[in-house]
Structure 1
Amino acid sequence: MLRRWSQPNGYRQVLAVGLPLVVSFGTTSLIHFTDRVFLANYSVNAIAAALPAGIASFLSICFFMGVVSYVNVFVAQYVGAGAFQRVGASLWQGIYFSLASALFLASLYFVAEPIFAFAGHHPEVMRLEVIYFRILTLGAGAVVMATTLSCFFSGRGLTRPVMLVNLAGAALNIPLDYILINGVGWFPEMGIAGAALATVASQVLVLLLFALAVFTRGHDRCFAVRRARAWDGGLMRRMLRYGLPGGVQFFLDILVFTFFVFMVGRLGRAELAATNIVMAINTLSFMPMIGMSVAVSTLVGQAIGAGKPSGGVRATSSTLHIALAYMGLVALAFVFLPRELLYFFHSEHADAASQARMLELGVELLRFVAVYSLFDAMALVYMGALKGAGDIMFVMWTMALACLGMVIAPMLLGVELLGLGLYYIWGCVTFYVVVLGLVFRWRYGRGLWQNMRVIEATGAAD
């Protein structure tokens, strides 16, 4: 372990690339966590509506985010191959895709009511869900575009700028949440609409800061971030060839948890509120692992681009050790400190019986999260390694089969036909995560990814 610390793609390099991404994705979790803490203290209906509407909004974005996130792999492999001038061209193809995505996402404003009417939640909860969803989707294009621009830094392994920009967004969101939800000073009390507006404002700030950081003269000279803005049909086709499966994979992953939350909502408001709270806590611990997944994808991509897949093997094992150590501590906290974690969501507006019921359910549900946490970390690390090399089709089909066969079909059968309850639904999700971790470990161990690459083989170094 001591030797691995200082080796290329060892612990020190993984942490140098990964920790800023951990903080960056942690700030995304912090924004949603803050929304839910303030809303839990505002009203039970608001917290019950926040997670279904928030997940539904994220589900609508995640396909496009998954596509443009693959710009990260192209940038990493071009940097590894020394073809620096192709970095700007990759970035601009992602920008064009992001602009089209923004228009589509804004149009979802008009279908919000049918979506949440189908869910069958309580009428007041549904009304709040529609409000929250509509505001978030109007600002969703900023999220996709910011994801694209962040790849310019993360793909090169320079993740500190990504961290600083996202910290600025979180720093704006927290006071805006308090002001707009509760009404402070000249601002009216807006409730759940205020939480959504605060989130959109922070996302727009992140986009503006990324734009200022990327499109500089120095970056244009080295990476053609201004000069290479022409449409490149061949590069766009190659990016879509790998990015579209990446988008489908990301969409399916979020679809599982969206469907899961909507099914829980059919059981009752207490079950939905407890699940929302536990998922908010889980997200705060889980999102940093997405940062480590992007880090290993970057390091594997650079190793593949340089023609040295052994470096990718070392980066993956180093990342896995770090991820398992972190998630192991998180799992222990879920088992031994559940009430302390749930205390953040105590609401003065709810009656004592409702609070006691949500606390009892929350303690039990955190044990499910503790069971699948380590497998979740394992799945994210190995999936990041496979995506960094270009093995995205296997990832997509695995997610598709697992989503349908282990979550959607069993939940529909168990809840709608057999009348099974909350613990059965959580058991399906736990089994799904465990299987994904084991399958991606098997695929990685076969080593086929070491002979893959996403960039053109004949690209000359600049």
Structure 2
Amino acid sequence: MSLKKRWSARAGYREALQIGLPLVISMISNTVMTFTDRIFLGNYSLESLAASVPASIAAFLFLSFFMGVSEYVNVFIAQYTGSCRHHDVGRALWQGIWFAIPSGIFLALLCLVADPLFRLGGHPAEVQRLEVIYFQILTVGSGPFLLGVCLSNFFAGRGLTKPVMLISICSVIINIPLDYCLINGVGPFPELGIAGAGIATVVGFTLPMVVYSVLIFTRENEKQFRVLSAWRFDRDLFGRFLYYGLPGGVEFFLDIFAISFFVFMIGRFGPVELASTNAVFSIYNLAFLPTLGLHVAASIMVGQAMGDRQPDRAAFATHSVLHLAMGYMGVMALLFVCFPDMLMNLFRSRNDVGDFDAVLRMGVVLMRYCAVFTLIDAVAIVYVGGLKGAGDTRYTMLVMGCASLACIVGPLIVLHHLGLTSIHGPWICLLLYVMVLATAFAVRFRKGPWRRIDLIGRNAKPERG
């Protein structure tokens, strides 16, 4: 199909951009928030930068499972919307809320295990102390984040992604200046360093939850979607939600676990290797998080098409999103290759006396790895979004588990045991990992067993009108 025809076709580029672009902007907003946070910390002290990435990755590792499950409300709402069962939207939303509340409490309790957890990393004592502080604040604030993610699905699952974008932008507008003030002690704010960065992030988590609650739980939405009257726990729907959502959460957890393990093992190679890898991962977020917005767009479009019993449209939508993702990631890969020095120098400390030069030299090399990784990752990200939108979550979970053990965990343990401390070994393992994922998900999607999955059940009669 020509580009012109695919632009205007159902589930083509235009529709993908209408749904996906606000999500991309939302993810870019979150990326900017994370990126500026790292820059502020890098300018504050090299130890704060070195501690921020392992601590935030560790916090996100635990959060990722519950986030992956909570996000799966999105697919149920998309399929109910596609099948015109609008009165079931509120029921689906509330099952996500009943999952998110106890999950947030559990995550908050993880602050009690922060000290022994970061001792396992073997990082320098000052870095460990800062890691514990940052991790504790982020885990305590995970509950509002989970609820915000769950509530955002009310709009995103129905293809109304502009509210998600606007709320994310407002959160960033508040977070960035608050972040700077709390880290550096500007005006009436105390100088809290990495603790200030964590507090500002939690504030950024809480604002969306409050705004979504005000927008969703209205009389108008009650009439069409039953967002108030469907508050009760529904055992059957909750069970179906967990059946498909839990593997999605495990898959997301395993992916983040592989990256977390990678970063912690790099920390054992040396402080320069750790700082350069942390900076490169922070830069890579400029490519990854917006593409994650396209991943969600693929899930929404596939979910709506499958709800309408049109698997061919679901496949067409996935490939439309894939083309857009590859285009974006291609641009980012060029930036990584052409301007690595400029990007790395954003993390140079204001008190630097030459210590950053070694980090810069190694970071320039790693940016080349990152450029290749970026292009391959686009394929994996979009195809897994399509598979999850159809409900094929058990396959994605199994592939992610096998790949993380075979390509990341096992090889890095062997490299460490043999005393091989070259930075190239771990990064080659990382490239192999994402190549396995991209190949496995692409082959699965093209074979098409996902076309036969009945996620929402067809016994209930659709409500038209």
TM range (shorter): over 0.9
CA distance in 1, matches of 2:38, 2:319: 35
CA distance in 1, matches of 2:19, 2:45: 40
* Secondary structure at the counterpart of residue 330 of structure 1: helix
Match in the other structure for 2:429: 428
Is 1:401 equivalent to 2:402 in the alignment?
yes
Match in the other structure for 1:127: 129
Asked whether the equivalents of residues 378 and 437 of structure 1 are also in contact (C-alpha less than 8 Å), the reply is yes
What percentage of residue pairs aligned between the two structures are identical?
47
Asked whether the equivalents of residues 375 and 438 of structure 1 are also in contact (C-alpha less than 8 Å), the reply is no
Is 1:455 equivalent to 2:453 in the alignment?
no
AA of the residue aligned to 1:306: D
Match in the other structure for 2:272: 270
CA distance in 1, matches of 2:377, 2:262: 17
Asked whether the equivalents of residues 139 and 200 of structure 1 are also in contact (C-alpha less than 8 Å), the reply is yes
Match in the other structure for 1:311: 313
AA of the residue aligned to 2:167: V
* Secondary structure at the counterpart of residue 364 of structure 1: helix
| Aligned ranges 1:97-176 → 2 under 5 Å | 97-176=99-178
CA distance in 2, matches of 1:424, 1:314: 38
Match in the other structure for 1:362: 363
CA distance in 1, matches of 2:283, 2:420: 28
Match in the other structure for 2:14: 12
Asked whether the equivalents of residues 64 and 98 of structure 1 are also in contact (C-alpha less than 8 Å), the reply is yes
CA distance in 1, matches of 2:194, 2:109: 21
Equivalent of residue 339 in structure 2, options 322, 326, 337: 337
Q: CA deviation at 1:100?
A: 0.6
- The two structures have a TM-score, normalised by structure 1, of 0.99
Is 1:191 equivalent to 2:193 in the alignment?
yes
Moved more, 45-54 or 262-271: 262-271
AA of the residue aligned to 2:37: D
CA distance in 2, matches of 1:430, 1:351: 34
Match in the other structure for 1:31: 33
Match in the other structure for 2:63: 61
Alpha-carbon displacement from aligned partner over 1:278-308 (angstroms, at most 9, x marks no partner): 0000012110111101101110111111011
AA of the residue aligned to 1:254: I
Match in the other structure for 1:415: 416
Alpha-carbon displacement from aligned partner over 1:193-236 (angstroms, at most 9, x marks no partner): 00000000111111111111111211111101111001100000
* Secondary structure at the counterpart of residue 229 of structure 2: coil
Deviation >4 Å, runs of 4+: none
* Secondary structure at the counterpart of residue 176 of structure 1: helix
Asked whether the equivalents of residues 176 and 198 of structure 1 are also in contact (C-alpha less than 8 Å), the reply is yes
CA distance in 1, matches of 2:263, 2:22: 30
Structure 2 unpaired stretches of 5+: none
Alignment size in residue pairs:
461
* Secondary structure at the counterpart of residue 119 of structure 1: coil
CA distance in 1, matches of 2:460, 2:74: 18
Alpha-carbon displacement from aligned partner over 1:20-56 (angstroms, at most 9, x marks no partner): 1111122222221111000000001000000000000
Q: CA deviation at 1:418?
A: 4.1
Asked whether the equivalents of residues 83 and 459 of structure 1 are also in contact (C-alpha less than 8 Å), the reply is no
Match in the other structure for 1:379: 380
* Secondary structure at the counterpart of residue 158 of structure 1: coil
Q: CA deviation at 1:255?
A: 0.4
Asked whether the equivalents of residues 284 and 370 of structure 2 are also in contact (C-alpha less than 8 Å), the reply is yes
* Secondary structure at the counterpart of residue 320 of structure 2: helix
Aligned Cα root-mean-square deviation (Å): 0.9
